[in-house]
């Protein structure tokens, strides 16, 4: 008989702890948790998603602003020099693209 009393006592303590834990987690209306819990989780997920999106947009904005500031600082720090024509432009405009393996043929001036 003592064995039955011990198992009953252990089971009643486990049930009491479970009820206390559920009361602490879900409050007085723990029977209404089915619908409310699903809706709450949906709104919480949407809020977390919105925060993640806002964080990505904010990070992109900050990154763009820092890159723009760095570029402006580099432009201010470069000395002003006399610009010479770049090697890619000729007397009549930009040079034609070259194809690897092909040697360009000299052009004859037109008369």
How do residues 30-68 score in pLDDT, each as one tens digit? Answer: 565 555 667 888 899 999 999 999 999 999 999 999 999
Please indicate, yes or no, whether the overall pTM of this predicted structure exceeds 0.75. no
What percentage of the chain exceeds 90 in pLDDT? 35
For residue 64, give Cα distances in angstroms to 67, 72, 75, 80, 109: 5, 12, 17, 26, 50
Q: How many CB atoms lie within 10 A of CB 26?
A: 14
Q: Rounded to 5 degrees, what are φ and ψ at 90?
A: -105, -170
What's the average model confidence in pLDDT over 69-74?
Answer: 93
In this structure, are strands 89-90 and 93-94 parallel, antiparallel, or unpaired? Answer: antiparallel
What's the average model confidence in pLDDT over 97-108?
Answer: 67
What's the average model confidence in pLDDT over 8-36?
Answer: 78
Please say whether the dihedral angle defined by the alpha carbons of residues 48, 51, 56 and 57, taken in this order, is positive or negative. positive
Number of residues that make up the chain: 111
> How much is the pLDDT for 36?
64
Higher pLDDT, 10 or 40: 10
Q: Dig out the tokens for 100 from the structure.
A: 């690897």
């Amino acid at each position: 008989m003592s064995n039955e009393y011990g198992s009953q006592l252990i089971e009643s303590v486990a049930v009491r702890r479970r009820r206390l834990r559920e009361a602490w987690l879900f409050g007085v209306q723990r029977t209404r948790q089915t619908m409310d819990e699903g809706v709450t989780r949906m709104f919480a997920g949407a809020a977390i998603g919105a925060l993640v999106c806002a964080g990505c947009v904010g990070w992109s904005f900050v990154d763009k602003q820092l890159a723009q500031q760095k570029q402006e600082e580099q432009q201010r720090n470069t000395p002003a020099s006399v610009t010479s024509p770049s090697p890619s432009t000729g007397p009549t405009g930009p040079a034609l693209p070259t194809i690897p393996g092909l040697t360009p043929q000299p052009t004859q001036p037109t008369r």
